[in-house]
Amino acid sequence: MVEQSSNGAPRPLDGLKVLDLTWFGAGPIGTRALANLGADVVRVETEKRPDGLRIGGPRPVGSTSLNLSGYYNNFNSEKRSITIDLTTERGHELGIDLVKWADVFASNMTNRAVQQIGMTWEQVSAANPGIIGIYQPMQGLTGPHSEYIGFGAILSTVCGVNSMTGFEGNEPRGSGTNYPDYVVNPIHLAIGVMAAVRHKRRTGEGQLIDMSQLESSVAALAGPIFALDNGGGDFRRAGNRVSFAAPHGAYQVEGDDRWLVLGCLTEEHWRSFTDVSGHAEWAEDERFATLDARKQHEDALDALVGEWAAGQDGRQAMERLQAADVPAGLVQSASEVLADEHMADRGYFAYLDHAEAGRRAYDGPGFRLSKTPHDLRGPAPLLGEHTFEICTDLLELSEDEIADLVAEQVLF
């Protein structure tokens, strides 16, 4: 069984040095994974133009501190933060010194912003020929749309999330989140970096990774596009249905806006469902005798399942169905997820002490390693929390030099 090794155990990216110029979601969550695998991740930030997530929330009511955003803090655990104004000449020199220090350079800014701060691949690789550079602008480093600007909400529409989510005929509102920002793009980023780290460890060579968030997102949402391109027909939104299973959907149960989800993937699941629901006669109904028949009569099937569900306590129904090995679950709210007994038993959420925010929940690792843990050993940094130590230890500046740079507003 998987027990994470105890705190302090070696981790697979120990010793890897990452200069992190990403911001918002898609980059920082990826570099967070690297940090939680042992890498020393140094985020370069500014007070002039802080990460938008530091400004946003959720945050304590009435607070404005850039250190109190749960949105930012959750995505940046265990990183160090240095505040440098890279647009100044001296600031840029310090940035280049950090490039020389680093094994990996990461950015998800627009190509225009990368040029403005003088951190193009040509500049970065000239300063450090063995470095790995991952650039993750919305649409990649080349092509007619390479200068396009966007956040996850823009990308979600362009990459197909909105047109593929929900029910035919409804406005294409999408997933209600900036979906590709949170797992698809950041963890693809971490995979790409680790592939390049392996090559660097074997050969000493760095490389450029041109990572278009659009390409990364479409790669993970490609089913309908691959089908369209290869004779499988056009995609039609089908709400909570899928092509290969029925019944499959969300059914309202007793209580205030409570929903049971059900995915009968096999004939066994279907027969067990009819047993548990007390409707063994449905299994005998020729309209529902095979998957093809159930797909053909899916409106009637969903109506019957919906009528049954309406009289059920959701949690009890889920447990009875699962006891019969039927894939069933509840649409959980965030507070239910935080209190989820299974996740708690597995110790998924990490509770970390942060100098300003106090003890707060952080998402745990998306994967676990039995011998070299992927874990969260520290909270998110305060803005510029590590400026002094990084200047001293990595950049080897004297206290006087640091004081001058602060006075010149190169450092904050």
Name residues contacting other proteins, limited to 30-69 (CB under 8 A).
33, 37, 52, 56-61
Asked if residue 247 has a cis previous peptide bond (ω within 30° of 0), the answer is yes
Give the one residue of 21, 326, 376, 390 binding other proteins; rule: CB under 8 A: 326
Using CB under 8 A as the binding rule, whether residue 288 contacts other proteins is answered as no
Pairing of strands 132-135, 40-45: unpaired
Sequence-distant (6+) residues with CB within 8 A of 222 are none
Q: Which of residues 254-283 bind other proteins (CB under 8 A)?
A: 257, 259, 261-263, 265-266, 269
Q: 256, 278, 335, 396: which one contacts other proteins (CB under 8 A)?
A: 335
Enumerate the active-site residues: 181
Q: Which is it for the CA torsion 276, 280, 282, 286, positive or negative?
A: positive
Which burial class, exposed, middle or buried, applies to 327 when counting CB atoms under 10 A from its CB (0-12, 13-18, 19+)? middle
Greatest alpha-carbon span in the chain:
85
3-state per-residue secondary structure call for 305-344: HHHHHHCCCHHHHHHHHHHCCCCEEECCCHHHHHCCHHHH
Touching other proteins, residues 156-195 (CB under 8 A): 156-167, 170-179, 181-184, 187-192, 194-195
Binders of other proteins in range 92-131 (CB under 8 A): none
Among 182, 150, 139, which residue's Cα sits nearest to residue 29? 182
Binding residue (CB under 8 A) for other proteins from 341, 396, 400, 407? 341
Nearest approach, Cβ of residue 327 and other proteins (Å): 4
Distance of CA 173 to the CA centre of its chain: 20
d(CA 346, CA 360) in angstroms, rounded, equals 18
Q: Which stretch binds other proteins (CB under 8 A): 138-146, 281-289, 388-396, 398-406?
A: 138-146
Question: Which range touches other proteins (CB under 8 A), out of 87-95, 148-156, 388-396, 399-407?
Answer: 148-156
Query: Least distance (Å) from other proteins to the CB of residue 282?
Result: 19
Beta bridge partners of 242: 245
Q: Which of residues 343-382 bind other proteins (CB under 8 A)?
A: 343, 345-346, 348-349, 357, 360-361, 363-372, 374
CB of 381 to other proteins, least distance (A): 17
Give the residue with the Cβ less far from other proteins, 333 or 398. 333
Q: Does 293 sit near other proteins (CB under 8 A)? A: no
> Considering the complex, what minimum distance in angstroms separates the CB of residue 132 from other proteins?
9
Could you tell me which residues are beta bridge partners of residue 82?
A: 44
